[in-house]
Structure 1
Amino acid sequence: MDQDPNPERGDVAAIVLAAGKGTRFRSDVAKVLHRTAGRSLVGHVLEALRPLGLGQVIVVVGHQREDVEAEVAAVGVPGSVTVVQGEQRGTGHAVQVALPALREGIDRVVIVPGDTPLLTAATLGSLLDAAEGGVAAMLTAVLDDPTGYGRVLRDGHGAVDRIVEHRDATEDERSVGEINAGMYLVARGPLEDALSRIDDRNVQGELYVTDVVQILTGDGQRVAAVVADETHVAGVNDRWQLAAAGAVLRDRHLAHLAAEVGVTIDDPASTHVDVSVRVDRDARLLPGTILEGSTVVGERAVVGPNSHLTDTEVGPDATVHSTRADGAAIGRGASVGPFTHLRAGTRLGADTKAGAFVETKNADVADGAKVPHLAYVGDATVGAGANIACGVITVNYDGRTKSHTTIGAGAFVGCDVSLIAPVTVGADAYVAAGSVVTDDVPDGALAIARSRQITKEGWVGER
């Protein structure tokens, strides 16, 4: 994946602006907590910062602060802390709130929005490199249609002269396509000084971090500008932009898997893989595949078509066809599907089979065991080499409590059997088709739990 080539910068801190509500999302959830491609918006930003090896990451929180703080902790970037912006008075005010939390030894500060999920470590690395030996640098982008964005005007030496907002720009200035991306790197001392001099004399009555650039250039300080790919610095302000960002992130990840790992993806347009998912060499993803969360797909495994796996491990050489799995583990060489549902706690061993219309839950199925079709195995242990025939049900719930079923190694459970838990079927035991088993079956025994057939000759004609 896209990585920063110089990953140790302990004298640099990042300030992530993540206090806003995001009214255009029309949501009860804070903007930066909305998720796409497997992570929250702020989670994507933090993961872009992780490879940089920064000395500190300060996340400014406000709206739904407890939830955002929990998300920052869950992402777990080293050196990350949160500070509270109780009253949101603009980006400049957010940075002011963060300054007292800076540690000793921090000499430079990078400022990034918390709603830019397409940001990459390499893009941030170029910003950090551009400021080497200078006071400040900022990221810009060149747009075909920059309407509404602040324009970046450069001096004769290529440095930033000033930033002018669209509404304040002249016609000539509006013809400039380079816009402010809202990401900055500033030396700590000059940043603290400039922030002490900004004011809220503007239409919104807020303190803007862009004014820091104006102050620095007004003082004769050089501010370098680095042109970034516009897709890397794009913010997300509503749900449509969230969906668009997710598509870009998934495309990046699929391209990485295909080009750098060696994964075959038959139809990228219909294959959705979260950026948090690992897929190993020579695996194949068929159309309609959705892989989410912490899912791992092993070498040479085939997933799809039409399979949806969340937080699921697929072992090498396994096949998973038309399956929904959540919190499951599928062993090496296992065969799953079609139309199979593996619920949380399912553990399929090596060379197992969970076939058509099989549902499992909290089930440990040992190596070589087979549940070929039309069965429910819940709260159960199935021994190695056992065979669970068509229509078998482990009856694990009596209306009040869940109970466990144990099926021994090499056992055979015939068609249309109900095993009333708690119950044990011993190793190499047989259960006759149509049985309702309420008592344990010893090793090597045959259990028949059904009434004798009664045939009444001529019954139909008599009626």
Structure 2
Amino acid sequence: MSTHQKTSRQQETVGVILAGGRGERARPITLKSSDYIRSKALIPFVGRRLIEWVLEECRDQGIRRFYVVTHGLENRSQIKLLLGHGERYGVEIKYSRSRFDRYNVGSAGATLHNFEQWDLRGRALVLPVDSLFDFDLKAMEATHEQRGAVVTVAAVERTAAEIATKYGVMRTDAASLVEGFVEKPGPAELGELFPRTAADPAATLPTNAGMYLVDCDRLRLLAREPELFRQSHQRLDWGGDLLPWLVGRGQPVASHAIARLGDLGNVPDYLDTVQLVLNGEYEQMNRLMDVPDESVPRRWIHESSLYTKDDVTGTTLAQKIDEGSVQIGTGVRIGRDVEIGTGVRLENTDIGDGSEVREGSTLVRSVVGESAVIGPCAHVTDSYVGPMAEVHSEHNRPTCLESYSAIGDGAVLWPGSRFCGITVYPRLRVPAMTGVPAETELSSADDILHWV
């Protein structure tokens, strides 16, 4: 490599994607079966896999080299099978070596070990694969350079009401350098530490979004200090360990506000983020997604679905739209070869390729995976139905899913169930059930028998 190439590579920003988690909070979305994990990177999201959107968002802002930190056979093989070495995407992708899995203890520990393995220098954007970010990389780089930071933390501004007991807060000075961290403070503590939030409910504070712009050379040098070196071989997380360690030793850590963060780590946040994307709240996603219909704002219907006939009336979706026998509102994406029956109402909903939504069904603020079936007269609100799942329903025994219910891949529900906030694991066959308490997880046949 020439001197010019080396200098160019040191000035560029590379992407480091942390994809080693098991996605336990997001189950059943992160399960293909009860004993087979789907990598968080491969969560279906608005027509693609999540890591594809992450990759394209970063590529759209000039990143061409990516390093993916994976963990375990399933995680590594699934991601590599999808992305390869980046040829399809016009980028270069390298993966962490399996022999380092035992050292990938904590998000920061995994980052530091792989920085050394890859001999990374210059700048790296470190980001998790279970979140969606709306950010301006050039602006973040400018903050990083102006503050002379070892790490610049992407921050999301939130009100005290949003923060209380849910998010950690960064204490910053007038130059946006971090002075300390407050972990998930309650309302009273927030009022004491940040009086302006008590006086003004609209006042915001910076919270850690989990994305970091890093000076690799300086951080690698600091990682050789005995205390940090020892901790990185035990357990070292970014937010709870590394950042406080850096700030506590006077190392410059900057805060940079980004437009938006979508946490996809659990079912409610996943569904809420889908709604925001479908309604245009993510500027980067607006640029990356296909152009919506001209006739209805924020509506996408693949041409193949417009001309797919249902097997009851033999009419196409285009005919039904023209005659007004279906209602498809804003914030709706319908993938390829989807069959839509008469009397269907869709609003703020994402429908995967090859799915069927039978006559008389209503879906609002929900997600339906590829090749899933929603039976006649079903009511699905604020819920997730996984790929190949079958939600059977009948006119006189409609099935109702609401309040962040989640049906795993290939699960089958019989007509008449009413689920509020219920999780059903993949491939289970569930008889008609009502009265099951919210937040119940049906993960096995034994769980089902308990409530029948």
The TM-score, its normalising length taken from structure 2, stands at 0.52
The answer to whether 1:67 aligns with 2:78 is yes
- Whole-angstrom CA distance in 1 between matches of 2:119 and 2:55: 19
CA offsets, 1:55-113, max 9 Å, x none? 52111111421002222326635122111452452111220232134356x41111111
The offset of 1:206, in angstroms, is 2.5
Larger mean Cα displacement after TM superposition, 155-164 or 191-200: 191-200
Partner of 2:410: none
The answer to whether 1:138 aligns with 2:153 is yes
CA offsets, 1:251-304, max 9 Å, x none? 2299959x9968413264xx4569xx9xxxxxxx96537443799xxxxxxxx9
Cα contact 2:96–2:114 (8 A) shared by 1: yes
Unaligned runs of 5+ in 2: 1-8, 32-36, 198-204, 306-319, 322-326, 339-343, 355-369, 371-452
Alignment length, in residue pairs?
A: 281
The answer to whether 1:96 aligns with 2:118 is no
Cα contact 2:293–2:301 (8 A) shared by 1: no
The answer to whether 1:109 aligns with 2:109 is no
Partner of 1:187: 215
Return the structure number with greater strand share.
Answer: 1
Which of residues 257, 281, 292 in structure 1 aligns to 2:335?
Answer: 292
CA-atom RMSD, angstroms? 4.3
Partner of 1:127: 140
Return the structure number with greater helix share.
Answer: 2
Partner of 2:413: none
Partner of 2:26: 25
Which of residues 92, 95, 101 in structure 2 aligns to 1:86?
Answer: 101
The offset of 1:12, in angstroms, is 1.6
> Relative to structure 1, is the Cα distance of residues 292 and 49 closer, same or farther in structure 2, using a 3 angstrom cutoff?
same
The offset of 1:154, in angstroms, is 0.8
Cα contact 1:123–1:228 (8 A) shared by 2: yes
The answer to whether 1:242 aligns with 2:252 is no
The offset of 1:233, in angstroms, is 1.8
- Whole-angstrom CA distance in 1 between matches of 2:336 and 2:193: 46
Amino acid at match of 2:256: V
Amino acid at match of 1:208: D
Cα contact 2:14–2:63 (8 A) shared by 1: yes
The answer to whether 1:160 aligns with 2:178 is yes
> Relative to structure 1, is the Cα distance of residues 70 and 128 closer, same or farther in structure 2, using a 3 angstrom cutoff?
farther
Amino acid at match of 1:217: V
Cα contact 2:128–2:210 (8 A) shared by 1: yes
Unaligned runs of 5+ in 1: 1-7, 278-284, 296-303, 312-325, 327-463
Amino acid at match of 2:25: R
Query: SS of the residue aligned with 1:131?
Result: helix
- Whole-angstrom CA distance in 2 between matches of 1:236 and 1:200: 32
The answer to whether 1:206 aligns with 2:235 is yes
The offset of 1:15, in angstroms, is 1.1
- Whole-angstrom CA distance in 1 between matches of 2:57 and 2:244: 27
- Whole-angstrom CA distance in 2 between matches of 1:225 and 1:149: 16
> Relative to structure 1, is the Cα distance of residues 116 and 67 closer, same or farther in structure 2, using a 3 angstrom cutoff?
same
Q: Map 1:324-363; keep pairs closer than 5 Å.
A: none
Cα contact 1:150–1:165 (8 A) shared by 2: yes
- Whole-angstrom CA distance in 2 between matches of 1:54 and 1:9: 13
CA offsets, 1:184-235, max 9 Å, x none? 1121122113334437879xx7311234333433443432211223xx2232
Query: SS of the residue aligned with 1:264?
Result: coil
The offset of 1:115, in angstroms, is 0.9
> Relative to structure 1, is the Cα distance of residues 199 and 103 closer, same or farther in structure 2, using a 3 angstrom cutoff?
closer
> Relative to structure 1, is the Cα distance of residues 69 and 97 closer, same or farther in structure 2, using a 3 angstrom cutoff?
farther
Cα contact 1:150–1:179 (8 A) shared by 2: yes
- Whole-angstrom CA distance in 1 between matches of 2:337 and 2:253: 41
Query: SS of the residue aligned with 1:132?
Result: helix
Identify which of structures 1 and 2 has the higher relative contact order when contacts are C-alpha pairs closer than 8 Å and 6+ apart.
Answer: 2
> Relative to structure 1, is the Cα distance of residues 199 and 167 closer, same or farther in structure 2, using a 3 angstrom cutoff?
farther
- Whole-angstrom CA distance in 1 between matches of 2:223 and 2:193: 26
Amino acid at match of 2:113: V
Q: Map 1:233-382; keep pairs closer than 5 Å.
A: 233-252=261-280, 256=286, 263-266=293-296, 268=298, 271-272=299-300, 288=328, 290-292=333-335, 310=353
> Relative to structure 1, is the Cα distance of residues 233 and 35 closer, same or farther in structure 2, using a 3 angstrom cutoff?
same
> Relative to structure 1, is the Cα distance of residues 173 and 58 closer, same or farther in structure 2, using a 3 angstrom cutoff?
farther
CA offsets, 1:162-189, max 9 Å, x none? 2232269955347773211111112112
- Whole-angstrom CA distance in 2 between matches of 1:29 and 1:244: 21
The TM-score, its normalising length taken from structure 1, stands at 0.51
Amino acid at match of 1:112: L
Q: Map 1:37-48; keep pairs closer than 5 Å.
A: 37-48=46-57
- Whole-angstrom CA distance in 1 between matches of 2:274 and 2:139: 24
The percent of aligned pairs where both chains have the same amino acid is 19
Cα contact 2:154–2:255 (8 A) shared by 1: yes
CA offsets, 1:304-351, max 9 Å, x none? 999x8959xxxxxxxxxxxxxx9xxxxxxxxxxxxxxxxxxxxxxxxx
- Whole-angstrom CA distance in 2 between matches of 1:154 and 1:114: 27
Q: Map 1:408-423; keep pairs closer than 5 Å.
A: none
Larger mean Cα displacement after TM superposition, 286-295 or 124-133: 286-295
Bigger-Rg structure (1/2)? 1
- Whole-angstrom CA distance in 2 between matches of 1:254 and 1:143: 17
